[in-house]
Amino acid sequence: MYDEKLLQEVTAKAQTWLSESYDEQTRAEVQAMLDNEDKTDLVESFYKTLEFGTGGLRGIMGAGCNRMNIYTVGSATQGLANYLNEAFKDMEQISVVVGHDVRNNSRLFAETVANIFSANGIKVYLFEGPRPTPEVSYAIRRLGCQSGVNITASHNPKIYNGYKAYWDDGAQVIAPHDVNIINHVNAIKDVSEIKFKGNPDLIQIIGEDVDGPYIEEIHTLSLSPDVCKRHHDLKIVYTPIHGVGRYIIPRSIERWGFDNIIHIPEQDIMSGDFPTVDSPNPEMPSAMQMAVAKAEEVQADLALASDPDADRISLVIKNTKGKYELVNGNQIQIIFHYYLMVRNRELGKLKGDEYIVKTIVTSETIAKIARKEGIKMFDCFTGFKWIAQVMREMEGKGRYLGGGEESYGFLPETFVRDKDAVSSIPLMCEIAAWAKDKGMTLNDLFIDLYINYGYSKERGISVVRPGKSGADEIAQMMVNFRENPQQAIDGSPVVLIKDFQKLEQRDMRTGEVTKLVMPATSNVLQYFTEDGTKVSIRPSGTEPKIKFYIEVHDTLDKKENYDAKNEWADQKIDRICESLGIA
C-alpha cells in the first residue's frame, strides 16, 4: 500500500501526460493507469523521472516519466543537442552517429533521435538497420563525428530499452561532458521544448560503407594468421541470441579464415522478443542452454555467443571430464590478456611500452600475469568509459594490448572505444586454434596458466531488488557493509578495505588510512584478506541489483589436481556467500 502523499504526487505528474502534447496511445496508457484500482504501475511509472546518468538512459518501456518512450528519449536528445551546439559552437557542421539494436521500439527511438538532432541543425549518420554497439563507436571515430547515440539495453530482459551517449573519441561520455549533458537534459521542463520534426536533408543513411572497413580493421588484430589457416575447420558454434551479432559476427569470423561456423537456426532470428530465452544475457546458463546442446551434438572445439547488441562475449568449452561448460567472465578476461601478452612476446613485438587495462572488480590473476610478463597494468572503475579514458590518456605514451571487465566485455583494438564482441569472438577462435596448434584445448590452456601464474576462481552474485522499495533496500545494504565492515572472511582476517566512495583505503593491521587515486568516486567497497581472497560489493548502475564479486586464490602444482582445486574453491566461495547473507 502506498502512502497518500506519494499517490497524490504521481497522480499529479500522470495527469500532465493527458495533455494534447502527448500522442493518443500514450494518453490512453496513462489514463488506464489512473483508472486502475491497483496503483502499482502508476507509481512505478511516475514516482521519479528516468534519470539521464553518466551512461545515458535505461529503463522499462512504456508511458510515464520513469519509462523509456519517445518523450524521455526526446528529452535526453534535446538536452544533448543543446549541449553539442554549445560545446562546438564554432564548428561549421556538427555531426553525430545514431544506431540501434533489435529491441522492440529501438528503430522508433533511433529515428526519433535522428529527427531531433537534425531539427537542431546537427548532421546525422543513421544506420540503415540494427548494428552492434561497438560499430557505433567505430563509426564516430571513422566519420569524425562529435557525438553518437546507440539505442540499446544490452543484455537486459525484453521489457527494457536504453540510450547510450558517446563523445567524439567514440567512448561513452565522462567529465566534464557527462555532468554538462545531464544539466542540459534536466533543463528540459516541457515536451514543447523538444524539436521532434526532423530535417531529412541532414540525415544520411549508412550501412555497408561502415561495415566493410570495420571488419577489415578488426582482421588486422590477428596475431596468428598461419595458425588460423592451418585450423580453418575449427568447429565453432556461434549464437547471437537473437541479436545484431547475427548480421556481422559470422562475417568477422570468416574474415579471420575460419569456415566451419555452426549456427543455431532458432537463435539466428533477430527479434526483440528473444523467443528462445527468458533473458538474453549470455552470462546466464539458461541463455546458453542451446549453445551447450549444439556443442555437445557436434563435439565443437568451442561455442561462442554475443549479447543482443554484440558487445559482450560468452564462451563454452569442454572441461577435463569431457562436459561442455560456461567459462566465467573473469576467465574470459584472463585468457584474452594471457594470449595477447604471451603471443606478442613470442613474436618479439614487446618493446617495453605495452599496457593492459582491467577493472577493479576483475581477477587479480591478470595482474599476476602482467607482472611476470613485464607489462604495465591499469586498474579502473567498472564501465568501459573508464578503460577508454586510460586509452585516451596513454595515446602516444604506450601501446595498448587489450582491456576488459569481468562482465564479459573485452576490447582488443584502439579504433573502437567500447567493448567489442565483433573483434573478441574471432580473437577467441584464434586462441583456440593457437592452443590446438600446440596440442592443447582451451581448458588445457587455462590449467597451464594457473600452474604458471597461480590459481584463482571467481564468482559473481547479483541480488535483484526491483522498484522503489528495492532501490531503498540496496542503498541500506551498502550502508550496513560500510558501517559494519567484515573483520574476517572464511576465517581469514581482513587486512585491507578499499572504499571508492570515500576514495580511502584502510590497512586493518595498522589502522593507517591512505587516499585512493581515482578520477572520480564510485559506490564500491572491497575487502582483501590475508589468504588472498577479494570481495567487491557494488550496486549496479544500470539494473535494480547489488553485485558481489568473490575471488579466491591458491597454487596449482599439476594438471591432475585441477578438478580438486575447483571443488575446493567452490566450497570456499559457498561459505563466503553464506557469511555475507547472499547464499
Catalytic residue ranges: 154
Residue with cell 575471488: 551
Helix (H, G, I), strand (E, B) or coil at 165: strand
* Alpha carbon of residue 236 to chain centroid: 24
CB 543 within 8 A of CB 156: yes
489: Cβ contacts below 8 Å, ≥ 6 apart? 527, 529, 533, 535, 576, 579
One-letter amino acid at 259 equals D
207: Cβ contacts below 8 Å, ≥ 6 apart? 127, 128, 129
DSSP string, 135-163: HHHHHHHHHT-SEEEEE--TTS-TTEEEE
CB 438 within 8 A of CB 342: no
CB 95 within 8 A of CB 146: yes
176: Cβ contacts below 8 Å, ≥ 6 apart? none
Helix (H, G, I), strand (E, B) or coil at 110: helix
Q: What is the dihedral angle through the alpha carbons of 57, 58, 64, 66, rounded to the nearest 10 degrees?
A: -80
According to DSSP, residue 398 is labeled -
Burial class (CB in 10 A: 0-12, 13-18, 19+), 53: middle
| CA Rg value for the chain | 24
Nearest to 80 by CA among 181, 190, 163: 181
One-letter amino acid at 170 equals G
208-219 helix and 133-143 helix, angle to the nearest 10 degrees: 100
Residue with cell 532470428: 269
505 - beta bridge partners?
A: 498, 514
CB 460 within 8 A of CB 551: no
One-letter amino acid at 202 equals L
436: Cβ contacts below 8 Å, ≥ 6 apart? 231, 234, 301
Reduced to 3 DSSP states, what percent helix, strand and coil does the chain have, rounded to the nearest 5?
40, 20, 35
Q: Which helix (H) or strand (E) holds 87?
A: helix 70-87
Angle of CA points 414, 368, 223, to nearest 5°:
40
According to DSSP, residue 516 is labeled -
Helix (H, G, I), strand (E, B) or coil at 429: helix
CB 520 within 8 A of CB 175: yes
* Alpha carbon of residue 269 to chain centroid: 22
262 - beta bridge partners?
A: 237
Q: Please, what sign has the CA dihedral across residues 580, 362, 248, 70?
A: positive
